[in-house]
Amino acid sequence: ARPAGGLGPDVSLPAEHQHARYNPLRDDWVLVSAHRVKRPWQGQLEKPPPEDVPRWDPNNPLCPGATRANGEVNPQYEGTFIFPNDFPALQPDAPEPDDSDHPLFRAAAARGVCKVMCFHPWSDLTLPLMSLEEIRAVIDAWAELAAELGASYPWVQIFENKGAMMGCSNPHPHCQVWASSFLPNEARLEDRTQRQHLSQHGVPMLLDYAEQEAHRKERLVVENTDWLVVVPYWATWPFQTLLLPRRHVCRLQDLRNSERDSLASIMQRLLIKYDNLFEVSFPYSMGWHGAPTGPYLEEDCGHWQLHAHYYPPLLRSATVRKFMVGYEMLAQVQRDLTPEQAAERLRSLPEVHYKQRTE
């Protein structure tokens, strides 16, 4: 194992042989079996996403002027559009559960609100095909919602499921924002591990990690003055990435204007590379993690560092995905492609979208 703080290359890691890597953010391990990527594939093939999505469809409930399931008519919006989820997983007035009669049968209150945010009025656009100004408007809307809902709720989860492969039932560019009265599992886990790292090493974990990756560069995908994107050392999904600020920032709403501009740029560059990898609208689930809010706004959350996770399922092509089953569900996460190999593939891709090339 490498001593903490070492800056040398990862020469001790076998590129073609299995080994385990530690994820300090989740306090768990991933099995890396790079030799398995050579095996022939005879499993399920996915359908590529449709290329003929209409720009406007009166029957699409996310389009401007369309009628949603609850009978409400969307405005003729021209930028971002935010509305309460018509089928929310969390509601603000849920009743308190009854007291448990046994420690193995516990329940707790779970309240909150769920919102939907449309990125753009056109259904045939995705974030990598939007302009920098349009992406910046999305970032501003994210930060505004995070501050608004975070004024009272401990956790505000912004997440985007892109593509039918990731459970998205509507091709219109959009995300969801769920605010909860509790810290979800991933938030509680990251709160604990980041707090421990700051206590033991005197520096926020992901600020330390960003500086290390910026120096090593072997897992770097894209970078600019304020941000960097890496395939994390402990990545589980084949082309998983981690988006990190270079400055210590606790929450999305704390970003400066210049950092929001550079965030729009680096998001566009990353997502263009994703689409260019297999020349398809690349599916993924992504989400922002930052310091808790609500009552935590009065506490010291300096152990937190803002970051975004991107979890794409594709492995070999637009039709071959990575399945998290069997061993992954019952024992430990396993991957076939090393993070370094994945980063090199993404890094080498052009930053002009394949649909916009003039060849």
67 Cα distance to chain centroid:
30
161 is in an annotated binding site: yes
Smallest CA-to-CA distance from 119 within 71, 67, 176, 165 is with 176
334 is in an annotated binding site: yes
307 is in an annotated binding site: yes
102 is in an annotated binding site: no
201 catalytic per annotation: no
Which positions ≥6 away from 93 have C-beta within 8 Å? Answer: 111
160 is in an annotated binding site: no
168 is in an annotated binding site: yes
Question: What span, in angstroms and rounded, lies between the C-alpha atoms of 276 and 273?
Answer: 5
Question: What span, in angstroms and rounded, lies between the C-alpha atoms of 155 and 287?
Answer: 13
Active-site choice (120, 174, 197, 303): 174
219 is in an annotated binding site: no
Lookup: tokens for 321? 């995905």
79 is in an annotated binding site: no
208 is in an annotated binding site: no
65 is in an annotated binding site: no
User: Strand, helix or coil at 35?
Assistant: helix
190 is in an annotated binding site: yes
Looking at residue 106, its amino acid is: R
The sign of the dihedral angle between the CA atoms of 268, 274, 279, 282 is negative
Lookup: tokens for 161? 């499921």
Lookup: tokens for 223? 């970078």
Give the C-alpha distances (Å, rounded to integers) separating 77 from 116, 187, 342: 14, 33, 39
DSSP state of 75: P
355 is in an annotated binding site: no
323 is in an annotated binding site: yes
Question: What span, in angstroms and rounded, lies between the C-alpha atoms of 192 and 197?
Answer: 9
197 is in an annotated binding site: no
User: Strand, helix or coil at 140?
Assistant: helix
**Residues tagged in the binding site annotation for Fe cation:** 190, 289, 307, 309
**Residues tagged in the binding site annotation for UDP-alpha-D-glucose:** 36-39, 69, 85-86, 161, 167-169, 176, 322-323, 327-328, 334
**Residues tagged in the binding site annotation:** 36-39, 69, 85-86, 161, 167-169, 176, 190, 289, 307, 309, 322-323, 327-328, 334
Catalytic positions: 174
